[in-house]
Amino acid sequence: MNRRQFLAVTSTALATLPSTLPAADAPARSRIPIGFFGATHSHAAAKIKQAMTSPDWDFVGVWESSVAGRQTCEKLGAKLVSQDELLQRARVVAVESDARDRAGHALLALKAGRHVHLEKPPAMTLADMQSVVALALEKKLLLQTGFMWRHNPGFQSLIEAAHQGWLGDVFLVRGFISNNLSAASRIEWAEYPGGSMFELGSHLVDATVRLLGKPKAVTPFVRHHGSFNDSLKDNNVAVLEYERATAILINTALQSGTTPQRSFEVLGTNGTATLQPIEPPTLTIDLTKPAGPYRKGSQTIPMPVYRRYEADFVELAAAVRGERSLSVSLADELLVAETILRCSDMR
């Protein structure tokens, strides 16, 4: 199915679907069986630990074939199970495998009638993500993508300020995310044509799309600038153009020092919201005129305690129980995935 055919089939359904569909057939507050496809992603260990210790989840185990992934499970004391046992016993499957395998593993889980938490970036091609979204829609199953900052209170407050008009008309967004990538990770990430923009920069793309929506144009600059004997695109910029705004997202895997530099800034006609650092979230809002709960001038906004992944899995459990819908719709999950591929020069 080509892109035009896919959109023709699903656009009406997605447009009428305000959020991913909750499944209301579980008894309230019951522990939900969850299992993991893979444990090789850098977020996997923390998420497995979350599932093993949270009162929301009944941890089934992990299917993992690689030596590195099995060692991760051994260190955590996480049970290893077969693929058949995972798909038979788990009600939710968290996909934490390598990027090349994620969409395929998500499809296996959805075909088995399981809700899916899918690690980011969710797919290496738009066709793969279209297939995942179409199957979730067809089977009325939940699909949550694991972007770690969706419940970061700094991002939530920043996006609220923009959407409520408190910053005025937004005209510029600037995002920066860096790390100093290890030699082993460089080998893995070099498999992706978009390099570290695809793997790490995707967090900035997710936030930008949730803030501003679908860009009318994207210009990627993915480059290999490090003095390493590999092909990793390690120094990257993406420019997203909107009708009356521009977003400039910068990603590098060459950051020196001990602390990765990560920030996100939104400029509007009434003021600026700056999240720096992103973790722990430190949000500064500077307004020309008071708006909403904020006064005129520069102010640092108090933030509640924030732990990565915790709120994501709380939300997912509540959606499985039918207590709420997921905060990001299937249509927006597809748009985020498509925009990541555009920013990474992968379509």
Is pLDDT of 11 > 90? no
User: What's the whole-number mean pLDDT along residues 230-249?
Assistant: 98
Phi then psi dihedrals of residue 80, to 5 deg? -95, 135
pLDDT tens figures, 89-124: 999 999 999 999 999 999 999 999 999 999 999 999
Say whether 153-301 and 3-148 share the same fold. Answer: no
pLDDT the model gives residue 20: 44
HSE value, Cβ hemisphere, 13 Å, CA-based, for 7 = 7
Fold (topology level) of 3-148:
Rossmann fold (3.40.50)
Which pLDDT tens digit goes with each residue over 142-171? 999 999 999 999 999 999 999 999 999 999
**Pairing outcome for strands 271-275 and 283-287:** antiparallel
The span from the CA of 87 to the CA of 285, in Å, is 47
Burial pattern 248-258, b for ≥16 Cβ within 10 A else e, equals bbbbbbbbeee
Q: What is the CATH number of domain 153-301?
A: 3.30.360.10
Q: Is the pLDDT of residue 15 over 90?
A: no
Tokens read off for 95 = 């996909």
pLDDT band for 256, please (50, 70, 90 cuts).
confident
91 phi-psi bin (left φ>0, alpha ψ -120 to 50, beta other): alpha
- Is the pLDDT at 197 greater than 60? The verdict is yes
Q: Where do the domains of the chain lie?
A: 3-148, 153-301
Mean pLDDT of the chain: 93
For residue 2, is pLDDT > 90? no
> ∠ CA(49), CA(52), CA(57), 5° rounding?
125
pLDDT in tens, 22-63: 444 544 578 999 999 999 999 999 999 999 999 999 999 999
Burial of 41-69, coded b for 16+ CB within 10 Å and e otherwise, reads: bebbbebbebbbebebbbbbbbbbeeeeb
Q: State the DSSP string of 154-165.
A: HHHHHHHHHHTT
